[in-house]
Structure 1
Amino acid sequence: MRYVVGNIYIITTVAVIGGALFGFDIASMSAILGTQQYKCFFNQTGISDGACGGPTSSTQGGISAAMPGGSFVGALISGFITDWMGRKLAIQTGSVIWCIGSAIVCSSFSIGQLVVGRFINGLSVGILSAQVPVYVAELAQPSKRGQVVGAQQWAITWGILIMFYISYGSSFLTGNAAWRLPWGLQMIPAVFLPPRWLAKHDRWEEAHKVLALVHAKGNENAPFVLTELQEIREMVEFERRNADASYLELFKGHMIYRTHVGMFTQIWSQLTGMNVMMLYITYVFGMAGLSGNSNLVASSIQYVINVVCTVAALIWIDRWGRRTPLLVGSTLMMIFMFANAGIMASYGKSAPKGGVDHVAEESWDLSDAPMAAKGVIAMTYLFVASYAPTWGPVSWIYPPELFPLRLRGKAVAVCTASNWIFNFALSYFVPPAFENIKWKTYLVFGVFCFVMTVHVYFCFPETAGKTLEDVEGMFTTPGMRPWKTSVQFQQVRRLEQGEIQSEKMADFQVESAGEKGNAPGTQPV
């Protein structure tokens, strides 16, 4: 007899391994690109003072950008894969692809092979990052949805932290093992690697059992389970009366509003500058005068901050809602970006040819102003602490909540693809930006943070504390004002616990009682 796991937290723990894979890539590249073993093997810039210069900044940008480039493609095709195979098999397919890409990367003997392997890894991350949030969002109760989908971001932070220290430890190895080992080990978690989709394919009995297993410990007559099942049934029947889902439909009529909100949630999460700070943190701290192991250790502290501060979101995100964390996070990040720009402009100078500690060909140097350098490091840590409980988890939580079942898989795929195409662009252009506009790079991201604050306030409605079907009703209500929407956490908790009934549940009971010949209003068996 096969044992079926129904605990939403166990299901989430396994599913979000896909997020950890993304974190592995960020951390391994961040730690490895500063090592002499990596620079000498892929050297393109010659040797000065006995040290290899590594790939040129544009080549390094291309190497880094290969993964998000593949993720863009993977996210787009994930919509077709999940509609064809279901959420779970789509996630398993992504895990297999990751193992293939990691094998190619860790055995690389040329920059071309490294780029191809990272692109294949990107295909995997694109599929997983698009469909894991959909999978867990559809399984979770409304009062826990933010918590379990936000676990995707927490898994990313753990992946970053674990792999950074593995890569840091490997940097003490001699020869190519210093970078081959961490890129080989990152394939291991992938080896271990939903009810609304079942309902959509007329597998109602299975859908009912899954809802009962996850929400009510197997009690198929629990009020909330029956409410959810009825709402899903109504939504599926309504959607079947309309045309089949297509990507084009996301950009038509009233759906384009939701599509723009979902896409910009992911786009703005990149334009905060967070992943740039993670991927090229050794560049940033090199500008602040840190070198060698001091640079790597200081860089690792921000990864610890990222893990710890994300816990706050997992605990309180469903009470905070979605709008408030986004608004607070972008405002704080704007302040810290502008502060970094001001410190660097006031106390820094152009670095000599070869950069600081050979971190970049040309960059900015704060080594003569130690207090200012500490200020940059402090602002960077505060920036990470602001992103971790706000835009980090909410950027994954929000998009799956916006769309109806019929379009959800493809819609989240498009939103996630938006994330990856901007990740690709930033990965490629940030190294040259540090060379050419230096400290003004921080100004660019500070302005982005200001614009996203205004955008969120006027255009992003609150979805926390609502069932996925209730969110659909909110978007189809004429005259909806995002800034007037609110969190309904307590009400939905009472509904889940059976203390109150929704109007749909009452209607469903009356209809069921009439069909069975029972007195109106009695509980169906």
Structure 2
Amino acid sequence: MPFIQGTPLLYFLACFASVGQFLFGYDQGVLSGILVNEHWLATFNHPTETMQGFVVSIFLLGAWLTSYIAPWFMDNWGRRWTIEIGSCVFIVGGILQTVSVTLVQILFGRLIAGFGIGFLSTVVPVYMAELSRAHNRGKVTVAGMSINMFGYASSGFIDYGFTYIDGEWSWRGPLLLQCMFALILALGCFLLPESPRFLVKKGDVSRATKVLAQLYGRDESDKDVQTECQDIVNAVNYEAALGQASWKEMFTTMRRRSTISIMVQALAQLSGINIVTYYAPKMYERVLGAGRMPILMAGFTALAYFLGALVAILLVDRAGRRSLFMTGSCFMVIWLILMAVFNKYDMGLTSSILVIAFTMVYVFTFGASWACVGWLYPAEIFPLRARAKGMSLAVSSNWLCNFAVGIWTPELLVKIEWATYLFYMAFCVVAFFLVYIFFVETKGKSLEEIDEAFGDVNHAHATTDDIDHPVDLKQNDEKSPV
């Protein structure tokens, strides 16, 4: 893209590639409005709460499965082609959902769409992290990931708009739109550059230098461009001496990083956010009654989620990752307790207003902390040779916990009602202490320098002796300080 250079190109690439995250956010939100759509309920013979939960969650199961396959494509075909595969698979699933007339068909369509999102959610954070530089990696990656929340916010208002259509297209229309967004990503993907780190890994240093020069907005002979390219070459050479990371190695020599990667996504999902993202209209029906108003309020709640993500863009490279995680957990404990209280005690209109208000504050807090930073963090902490598999572990943790939460939340809301919020609040308390004890700060460090935070050598500055005699990664990774 010669017409855009430097930082504008970097942000453009981050946001465009994150159309994949837009699809994830859109699909999360769009079904929440459809689940209270009378035409959808009539078409599928008013499925039970459990079946509705399964319609939501089978999408997540599909994403979980392909999150294990995505690393092979990322390491062999590249980051860009993995994005292309994910968007094309999603289109097929989206079309099947749109034309469904039976529960089996819509379940099958959501499963295939989930396959596509499994690819996209694994590759996009890695792609953005590898394009960025140390001083703005958090900001750029979080800016891209905030598109997820924008997709979620968009789905709420689109669902509301389609309620004015009387008939099946009141729910088929929102499902068809997601196919259009995926098509834009699939076509535009041909304009995206490949990750410089992947290009160096494949021996194409000249193309890697060209991409870096475009991202810097300078000539290929520029000193900073050459220095970064050489650092990447050094890191790749060092890691080549160690060999491609195996799945066994992920749980031995890189056990600490793998555990953190799994924890960060599990804790994000178990904080209770999916009570809102999947079931906000059903929640609001309890206090506002049936009709369009619950869907409209869900749209404004999604907008608060997106605004929180914008705050994270401003804070992530200033406050740091650990601070945002811990502060977010503390405030979410407070909001979840208040949401439980005002769901338990009926004070008429006052309760309704307070439930909605604290729900919006809660999703704003999550958006400003765990929502985007939780995707950035696992993409940062692994060396290049293990980055795809490390991100796969994080994403698979996300989808597995997402699937579980999607399945059990409807039943929890029916059986224990207001105590559901206290159930998720407990996980926020656990999250605070786990972050404090185990997580390292990555703010301001290059991807190669982060290895030092885990006790490894800086792969960009590895010497010939380091390559001939690699350090004991197991010892260092396990003994590294917090």
TM-score normalised to the size of structure 1? 0.83
2:391 to 404, 412, 422: 412
Shift of 1:235: 1.4
1:151-162 pair list within 5 angstroms: 151-162=143-154
Deviation per CA, 1:322-355: give whole Å up to 9, x if none. Answer: 011101101100111112222333x1xxxxxxxx
CA distance in 1 between partners of 2:271 and 2:219 (Å): 44
1:73 to 55, 58, 65: 65
Map of 1:180 onto structure 2: 172
Is 1:210 aligned with 2:202? no
Is the 1:152–1:396 contact (alpha carbons within 8 Å) kept by the matching residues of 2?
Answer: no
CA distance in 1 between partners of 2:3 and 2:77 (Å): 20
Partner SS, residue 288 of structure 1: helix
Partner SS, residue 179 of structure 2: coil
Read off the aligned partner of 1:183 and give its amino acid letter: L
Shift of 1:321: 1.1
Map of 2:221 onto structure 1: 221
CA 1:58–1:336: 2 relative to 1, 3 Å: same
Is the 2:156–2:298 contact (alpha carbons within 8 Å) kept by the matching residues of 1?
Answer: no
Shift of 1:422: 0.5
Map of 1:247 onto structure 2: 247
2:24 to 2, 22, 26: 22
Shift of 1:429: 0.9
Deviates more, 1:446-455 or 1:76-85: 76-85
Is the 1:5–1:11 contact (alpha carbons within 8 Å) kept by the matching residues of 2?
Answer: no
2:428 to 446, 449, 465: 449
Map of 1:432 onto structure 2: 411
Deviation per CA, 1:388-442: give whole Å up to 9, x if none. Answer: 1111110111111000000101110111111011101111111011111111111
Is the 1:21–1:159 contact (alpha carbons within 8 Å) kept by the matching residues of 2?
Answer: yes
Deviation per CA, 1:223-270: give whole Å up to 9, x if none. Answer: 3323322221221111111232222211012x1101111111111110
Is 1:333 aligned with 2:312? no
Shift of 1:16: 0.5
Is 1:139 aligned with 2:93? no
Deviates more, 1:271-280 or 1:425-434: 271-280
Map of 1:278 onto structure 2: 277
Is the 2:235–2:461 contact (alpha carbons within 8 Å) kept by the matching residues of 1?
Answer: no
Shift of 1:309: 2.4
1:231-246 pair list within 5 angstroms: 231-246=231-246
1:54-65 pair list within 5 angstroms: 54-65=46-57
Is 1:106 aligned with 2:98? yes
1:356-371 pair list within 5 angstroms: 366=346, 369-371=348-350
Map of 1:51 onto structure 2: none
Partner SS, residue 241 of structure 1: helix
Partner SS, residue 125 of structure 1: helix
List runs of 5+ in structure 1 lacking aligned partners.
Answer: 44-53, 348-365, 479-502, 509-525
Partner SS, residue 291 of structure 1: coil
Read off the aligned partner of 1:393 and give its amino acid letter: C
CA 1:13–1:344: 2 relative to 1, 3 Å: closer
Shift of 1:220: 2.5
CA distance in 2 between partners of 1:239 and 1:477 (Å): 12
Deviates more, 1:135-144 or 1:286-295: 286-295
CA distance in 2 between partners of 1:477 and 1:134 (Å): 20
Map of 1:33 onto structure 2: 35
1:472-487 pair list within 5 angstroms: 472-476=451-455
2:77 to 82, 85, 94: 85
Deviation per CA, 1:433-472: give whole Å up to 9, x if none. Answer: 1111111111111000000001001111100101000001
Aligned length: 450
Regions of 4+ moved over 3 Å: 2-6
Shift of 1:504: 5.5
Shift of 1:61: 0.8
CA distance in 1 between partners of 2:15 and 2:313 (Å): 13
CA distance in 1 between partners of 2:290 and 2:93 (Å): 31
CA distance in 1 between partners of 2:379 and 2:252 (Å): 19
Read off the aligned partner of 1:99 and give its amino acid letter: I
CA distance in 1 between partners of 2:286 and 2:146 (Å): 29
Shift of 1:386: 0.7
Map of 1:342 onto structure 2: 341
Read off the aligned partner of 1:161 and give its amino acid letter: A
Map of 1:394 onto structure 2: 373
2:448 to 469, 489, 509: 469
Partner SS, residue 266 of structure 1: helix
CA distance in 2 between partners of 1:396 and 1:312 (Å): 16
Is the 1:247–1:411 contact (alpha carbons within 8 Å) kept by the matching residues of 2?
Answer: no
List runs of 5+ in structure 2 lacking aligned partners.
Answer: 186-194, 465-482
Read off the aligned partner of 1:380 and give its amino acid letter: T
Is the 2:244–2:386 contact (alpha carbons within 8 Å) kept by the matching residues of 1?
Answer: no
Partner SS, residue 292 of structure 1: coil
Shift of 1:374: 2.0
CA 1:504–1:248: 2 relative to 1, 3 Å: closer
Is the 2:41–2:47 contact (alpha carbons within 8 Å) kept by the matching residues of 1?
Answer: yes
CA distance in 1 between partners of 2:315 and 2:355 (Å): 30
CA distance in 2 between partners of 1:303 and 1:504 (Å): 44
CA 1:412–1:185: 2 relative to 1, 3 Å: same
Shift of 1:3: 4.8
Map of 1:319 onto structure 2: 318
Read off the aligned partner of 2:71 and give its amino acid letter: G
CA distance in 2 between partners of 1:274 and 1:433 (Å): 14
Is the 2:86–2:120 contact (alpha carbons within 8 Å) kept by the matching residues of 1?
Answer: yes
Is the 1:32–1:171 contact (alpha carbons within 8 Å) kept by the matching residues of 2?
Answer: no
CA distance in 1 between partners of 2:219 and 2:178 (Å): 40
Deviation per CA, 1:64-108: give whole Å up to 9, x if none. Answer: 001111110121111111112100000011111111001100000
CA RMSD of aligned residues (A): 1.9
CA 1:292–1:17: 2 relative to 1, 3 Å: same
CA distance in 1 between partners of 2:149 and 2:240 (Å): 40
CA distance in 2 between partners of 1:324 and 1:224 (Å): 31
Is the 1:209–1:218 contact (alpha carbons within 8 Å) kept by the matching residues of 2?
Answer: no
Shift of 1:209: 1.6
Deviates more, 1:419-428 or 1:165-174: 165-174
Partner SS, residue 141 of structure 1: coil
CA distance in 2 between partners of 1:78 and 1:4 (Å): 32
CA 1:100–1:30: 2 relative to 1, 3 Å: same
